[in-house]
Amino acid sequence: MSESLVSKSKFLSLVLRHKPEEIGLSLDAEGWAELDQLIQLASDKGIALTRELVLEIVSTSDKKRFVVDPTGERIRANQGHSIKVDLGLTPQQPPGTLFHGTATRFAASIRESGLLPGARQHVHLSSAETTARDVGARHGSPVVLIVNAVDMHRDGHEFFLSANGVWLANAVPPRYLRFP
């Protein structure tokens, strides 16, 4: 993806996950925005978006961050929200083991309190260790924690799978975490 598309993709993440009010956009309860309205409000702020550009971002996003509904009228982020939206996800049985990448400087606090969603709606977990390492490296020197998802699920904790393959949990108590 070109640099200009990456910056437009980051803009979409900002307004569809965190701050729609920044451009006066409204999302419905399920996180959908009207695509035409989004394009208009963005251009009012000097961000040149067209339907074609948005569709290119949606289809080439490495993590499939966004989805356009079948009518082509609405767009939303698949996960990663800090604002409260109902993605309509149903609880799923997770793989036995999941991974969470974080920075080594957070490890002591995580040992103490477990994984907390912080600003986001969920804690993000990966089925692949390599993905988790990349996520952790965004924050600094990475460390990958192993989540005992089988026990956690058996004990009644819910797991959700986002449309783009990210495992989500409300929190992960310390007893289900293994540190390398």
**Which residues of this chain interact with ligand HQG, rule CB under 6 A?**
13, 63, 65, 80, 102-103, 106, 109-110, 113, 115-116, 118-120, 124, 135, 138-139, 166
State which residue, 40 or 163, has the beta carbon closest to ligand HQG.
163
CB of 71 to ligand HQG, least distance (A): 25
Hey, which bits of 41-156 come out as E strands? 66-68, 74-77, 97-103, 123-125, 142-148
CB of 121 to ligand HQG, least distance (A): 10
State which residue, 80 or 94, has the beta carbon closest to ligand HQG.
80
Chain centroid, CA 59 distance in Å: 17
Let me know if 103 is exposed, middle or buried by CB neighbors in 10 A (0-12, 13-18, 19+).
middle
In the sheet with 177-178, reading across from the earlier edge strand, the strands are 97-103, 142-148, 177-178
Give SS3 for 100.
strand
Distance CA 146, CA 97 (A): 7
State which residue, 36 or 175, has the beta carbon closest to ligand HQG.
175
CB of 169 to ligand HQG, least distance (A): 11
CB of 34 to ligand HQG, least distance (A): 22
State which residue, 97 or 106, has the beta carbon closest to ligand HQG.
106
CB of 158 to ligand HQG, least distance (A): 18
State which residue, 42 or 125, has the beta carbon closest to ligand HQG.
125
With CB atoms as reference, the residue minimizing the distance to ligand HQG is 102
Question: What DSSP letter does each residue of 53-80 carry, written as one string?
Answer: HHHHHHHH-TT--EEE-TTSSEEEESS-
